[in-house]
Amino acid sequence: MNVREAKQRIEVLKKEINLHRSNYHTYNTETISDSALDTLKHELANLEADYPQFITPDSPTQRVGGDVLDGFIKQEHTVPMMSLADVFNSDELRDWMQRNQKILGQSEGEIEYFAELKLDGLAVSVGYQDYQLTYGATRGNGVIGENVTHNVKTIHDIPLRLNALDVVQRDALNAVRPGWGTSLADRWDGTLEVRGEVYVRQSDFEQVNREMLQQHKSPFANTRNLAAGSLRQLDSSIAAERKLSFFAWALVTDLGQQSQYEEWCLLKVLGFPVVAETLRGYEVKDFEHFHQEMYNKRSRIDFAYDGVVIKVNHKDLQSQLGFIGKGPRFMIAYKFEAEEATTKIQDIQVQVGRTGKITPVAIMEPVHVYGVTVTQASLHNQDEIDRLGVRIGDTVVVRRAGDVIPEIVRVLPGLRVGRERKFQIPFQCPVCQTDLIQKEGQVNRMCPNLQCPARTMRHLTYFVSKQAFDIRGLSEKMLEKLENAGLVQNEEDILNLRYDDLRVLPGMGDVSAHNIVTAVQKAKHISFARFIQALGIPHIGEQTAKSLARNFDSIQSLMQATLDEFTSIDDIGDTVARSLVEYLEKQSNQEKIQKFFEAGGIIQYPQASSQVGFFCGKTVVITGSFEQYARPDLVRKIEQQGGKVSSSVSSQTDYLLAGTKAGSKLNKAKSLNVDILDEHTLQNVL
Ligand code: IVH
């Protein structure tokens, strides 16, 4: 990127970020996910660091919060309400800790930190005089907020009157640090300012949305929108109905607290709810562990949090560290792995699949999404390219949750600079130049050439893949080598590979040749279901193959089945049945199956299927990760118990098996009232 391009990129980034921020902060509408906006902010901050000459006062990196709506009384904060810098991984956390060590002249492991949850709500400041609540204000733009005292008073978590420092409270504080409670009780007059988060519990959120729907009003997108929307109402009866909750995370007034931990204790003693999940520690690994643990706990906690906040514990160290830019240097938000991020499309390439299907694939600047670096995403077909309106050079939002394949969710057209190029899938196969066909009413363009080298190669790679014959050692590269050597042209050739032919190939050697031959021999014993799947019949995936294997007692009877026999099977519809008949009718395919037996192949048929067991006749969907089981084991176990595993949640689903890091499937299951089992329950069942 040259200077001119950097300047241009900084300008469009600022515009785009400001637009989304103002939508969110001022109008309570979310037009981009937090995590995608974070990527844009990160990119802007990095560019500004490289080109500081282009930093302007209106840059989103230079300010906090939104503007104040008309109608509220404005309230200037006694101390500005700032924001926090973010880190996303342990390396960035380590960098931050090392910076602290350097400034404070300490060595590794010497500084104590206090961590708590980063709540996903709305910051407010509440003031007390003579123990009585006197005001509540939103953050606003950080310097001036909106006075929302009338609404704050409806929040039951916020005490209208502070606990006085009677014996109990005094003793509690003296137990934290000897003498503290006694001396504070002697001098304090009940004046203070507390800051914290107004939020909505998940269960309350669901209830409010149910009511909204009953009244034919549009539901809230998330708990934070609901919290913000309710707190910023001129009529306090609305806030009262909305069940807002509160956690305190800071005491602005100096009441002798010497550390963040003491502050947390004092807030509790005075009557404020504080987050119970906290940690005091010294090292990166302590917080790495805490962060992971809190992430795993998300589905079990009734309020939203999007990371942990890590604070230098001791107040004197905090003041030595001071402030930088928009926030304190002594605190950091260690956010959870984002499910969405933004990146740029570098190119769109077309791939030719096994069946001839042409797939456009977006090649992207590497971007970290939910724990992995993503560089490619399928764009499926021309319709999808048109629907997204995606062009080469565009900035896009990429999403990946849990075990899900990354996808491009949308384009950010506001970031275009005029150099982006539209893309059309070609009309000829990029590999064999045959004219592509697109059937009436279908979205996919296909290469019809059965001899297309790309198709043949895809076929073979599928044939040896894990889903099919699972022949280890035969990578796509190796297959190409064997093809070039004239050894492999079709599946049959693979099954008949001979040690003597392999070992003389350049770069092969005895061991690799032996391994390949052994893998091939092993693969010749294959279960009925996997054999069906390995045929690569269009529309027949793992589930359908399994169901066919349950319903036919041999490959011979499968080959003789009629369309009606197929459609009479529970989960087989018209398209699948027709695809089966079409495939099995073809002489070339019948020969292929014959060749498998000629090469010494043996199909293993299942024992009588399980008619008993906890999951008998039930459809189960799995989401998230599990401590005790890998996915394939889980699937096997459920099937052994008579259940069927399906990939998406619908009204047909009987159980959702939810591990940690469960994503959207969990929400969907909840909304459909599907029974949810966790790992612990599952263990009991199994
Ligand atoms: S301490 C400088 N502790 O995060 C402000 N903030 O990005 C430091 N937040 O406006 C505040 N949970 O609304 C702190 N446990 C926590 C928090 C927390 C959520 C929010 C807060 C603040 C924003 C800063």
118 a catalytic residue: yes
Instruction: Kindly state the average pLDDT of the residues 351-361.
Output: 93
> Do residues 204 and 280 both lie within one domain?
yes
Atom of ligand 1 nearest to the CA of 197: 13
Atom of ligand 1 nearest to the CA of 121: 13
> Do residues 417 and 309 both lie within one domain?
no
> Do residues 182 and 239 both lie within one domain?
yes
> What is the distance in A from the centroid of ligand 1 to the CA of 80?
13
Residue closest via CA to ligand 1's atom 18 equals 118
Cβ partners under 8 Å of residue 396, min gap 6: 342, 343, 344, 345, 362, 364, 388, 390, 408, 409, 410, 411, 412
- From the list 434, 277, 400, the residue with the least C-alpha distance to 663 is 400
Least confident range of 39-53, 58-72, 297-311: 58-72
Atom of ligand 1 nearest to the CA of 328: 2
Establish if 466 belongs to a structural domain: yes
> Do residues 110 and 18 both lie within one domain?
no
Residue closest via CA to ligand 1's atom 23 equals 83
Atom of ligand 1 nearest to the CA of 327: 2
pLDDT reading at 365 higher than 60: yes
- Residue of 7, 41, 102, 118 marked active site: 118
SS3 552: coil
Q: What is the pLDDT of residue 611?
A: 60
> What is the distance in A from the centroid of ligand 1 to the CA of 166?
30
User: When comparing pLDDT for 100 and 213, which is higher?
Assistant: 100
CA distance 414 to 19: 10
Cβ partners under 8 Å of residue 545, min gap 6: 529, 530, 532, 533
* CATH, residue 505: 1.10.150.20
> Do residues 113 and 219 both lie within one domain?
yes
Query: Rounded to 5 degrees, what are φ and ψ at 522?
Result: -65, -40
Angle, in degrees to the nearest 10, between helices 3-27 and 34-50: 140
Residue closest via CA to ligand 1's atom 17 equals 118
Q: Which of 119, 120, 321 to mutate to test the pocket of ligand 1 (most atoms within 8 A of CB)?
A: 119
> What is the distance in A from the centroid of ligand 1 to the CA of 84?
7
Q: Which of 210-224, 244-258, 439-453 has the highest mean pLDDT?
A: 244-258
> What is the distance in A from the centroid of ligand 1 to the CA of 508?
59
Cβ partners under 8 Å of residue 226, min gap 6: 200, 205, 208, 220, 242
Find the helix or strand (DSSP H, E) in which 658 lies: strand 655-658
What are the pLDDT digits (tens) for 426-454? 999 999 999 999 999 889 999 999 889 99
- In the numeric block, the tokens 């506001």 are attached to 414
User: When comparing pLDDT for 66 and 671, which is higher?
Assistant: 671
Cβ partners under 8 Å of residue 326, min gap 6: 61, 62, 63, 64, 82, 83, 85
What is the side-by-side strand order in the sheet with 113-119?
86-87, 331-335, 305-312, 113-119, 278-281
Instruction: Kindly state the average pLDDT of the residues 105-124.
Output: 96
Least confident range of 378-382, 413-417, 570-574: 570-574
Q: Which of 34, 245, 249 to mutate to test the pocket of ligand 1 (most atoms within 8 A of CB)?
A: 249
Query: Residue 660's domain spans which residues?
Result: 619-685
What are the pLDDT digits (tens) for 132-164? 999 999 999 999 999 999 999 999 999 999 999
> What is the distance in A from the centroid of ligand 1 to the CA of 570?
53
Contact, 127 vs 134, CB < 8 A? yes
Q: What is the pLDDT of residue 403?
A: 59
> What is the distance in A from the centroid of ligand 1 to the CA of 625?
29
pLDDT reading at 69 higher than 70: no
Contact, 542 vs 631, CB < 8 A? no
Residue closest via CA to ligand 1's atom 21 equals 123
* CATH, residue 663: 3.40.50.10190
What are the pLDDT digits (tens) for 612-635? 678 888 899 998 888 888 787 788
| CA atoms within a 13 Å half-sphere pointing along the CA-CB vector of 652 | 10
Q: Which of 83, 272, 315, 331 to mutate to test the pocket of ligand 1 (most atoms within 8 A of CB)?
A: 83
Residue 618 token pair: 């039930």
> Do residues 55 and 109 both lie within one domain?
no
Neighbours of 283 (CB within 10 A): 14
> Do residues 282 and 168 both lie within one domain?
yes
Q: Which of 118, 138, 278 to mutate to test the pocket of ligand 1 (most atoms within 8 A of CB)?
A: 118
> Among 335, 357, 381, where does a domain finish?
335
* CATH, residue 39: 1.10.287.610
Q: What is the pLDDT of residue 218?
A: 77
pLDDT reading at 644 higher than 90: no
Name the pLDDT band for 217 (thresholds 50, 70, 90): confident
> Among 335, 353, 375, where does a domain finish?
335
- From the list 126, 119, 145, the residue with the least C-alpha distance to 25 is 145
User: When comparing pLDDT for 70 and 407, which is higher?
Assistant: 407
CA distance 493 to 455: 16
> What is the distance in A from the centroid of ligand 1 to the CA of 44?
22
Q: What is the pLDDT of residue 63?
A: 56
Find the helix or strand (DSSP H, E) in which 102 lies: helix 90-104
Contact, 481 vs 494, CB < 8 A? no
Establish if 531 belongs to a structural domain: no
Q: Which of 240-244, 357-361, 601-605, 652-656 has the highest mean pLDDT?
A: 357-361
> Do residues 187 and 148 both lie within one domain?
yes
CA distance 527 to 330: 60
**Strand 192-199 versus strand 245-251 pairing type:** antiparallel
* Domains of the chain: total: 5
Establish if 510 belongs to a structural domain: yes
* CATH, residue 274: 3.30.470.30
> Do residues 262 and 214 both lie within one domain?
yes
Contact, 209 vs 219, CB < 8 A? yes
Residue closest via CA to ligand 1's atom 24 equals 83
Q: What is the pLDDT of residue 65?
A: 40
Three-state SS for 226-251 is: HHHHHHCCCCHHHHHHCCCEEEEEEE
Least confident range of 62-71, 465-474, 629-638, 659-668: 62-71
Establish if 573 belongs to a structural domain: no
- In the numeric block, the tokens 């204000």 are attached to 137
Distance in Å from the first CA to the final CA of the chain:
57
Name the pLDDT band for 281 (thresholds 50, 70, 90): very high
Atom of ligand 1 nearest to the CA of 250: 1
Establish if 567 belongs to a structural domain: no
> What is the pTM assigned to this prediction?
0.56
How much is the mean pLDDT over the chain?
Answer: 91
What is the side-by-side strand order in the sheet with 192-199?
132-138, 122-129, 192-199, 245-251
> Do residues 647 and 508 both lie within one domain?
no
pLDDT reading at 338 higher than 80: no
> Do residues 292 and 400 both lie within one domain?
no
Give the dihedral sign, CA 28/30/35/39. Answer: negative
Find the helix or strand (DSSP H, E) in which 373 lies: strand 372-378
Q: What is the pLDDT of residue 192?
A: 97
> What is the distance in A from the centroid of ligand 1 to the CA of 260?
13
Strands (E), 492-649: 525-527, 602-604, 619-623, 644-646
pLDDT reading at 57 higher than 90: no
Least confident range of 452-466, 503-517, 598-612: 598-612
pLDDT reading at 92 higher than 90: yes
Establish if 507 belongs to a structural domain: yes
Q: What is the pLDDT of residue 238?
A: 86
User: When comparing pLDDT for 199 and 57, which is higher?
Assistant: 199
Establish if 470 belongs to a structural domain: yes
The percentage of the chain sitting over the pLDDT mark of 90, rounded to a whole number, equals: 66
The percentage of the chain sitting over the pLDDT mark of 70, rounded to a whole number, equals: 97
Residue 120, phi-psi category: left (phi > 0), alpha (psi -120 to 50), beta (remainder): beta
> Among 502, 517, 532, where does a domain finish?
517
> Do residues 137 and 246 both lie within one domain?
yes
> What is the distance in A from the centroid of ligand 1 to the CA of 311?
11
Strands (E), 139-257: 144-146, 192-199, 245-251
Establish if 562 belongs to a structural domain: no
Contact, 386 vs 425, CB < 8 A? no
pLDDT reading at 56 higher than 90: no
- Cα distances from 429 to residues 343, 357, 363, 379, in angstroms, run 29, 10, 19, 17
- Cα distances from 641 to residues 145, 614, 627, 636, 644, in angstroms, run 59, 6, 20, 9, 9
What are the pLDDT digits (tens) for 120-135? 999 999 999 999 999 9
Atom of ligand 1 nearest to the CA of 82: 2
Q: What is the pLDDT of residue 47?
A: 94
Q: List ligand 1's pocket residues with C-beta within 6 A.
A: 82-84, 116-119, 123, 139, 197, 249-250, 309, 327-328, 331, 333
Atom of ligand 1 nearest to the CA of 123: 13
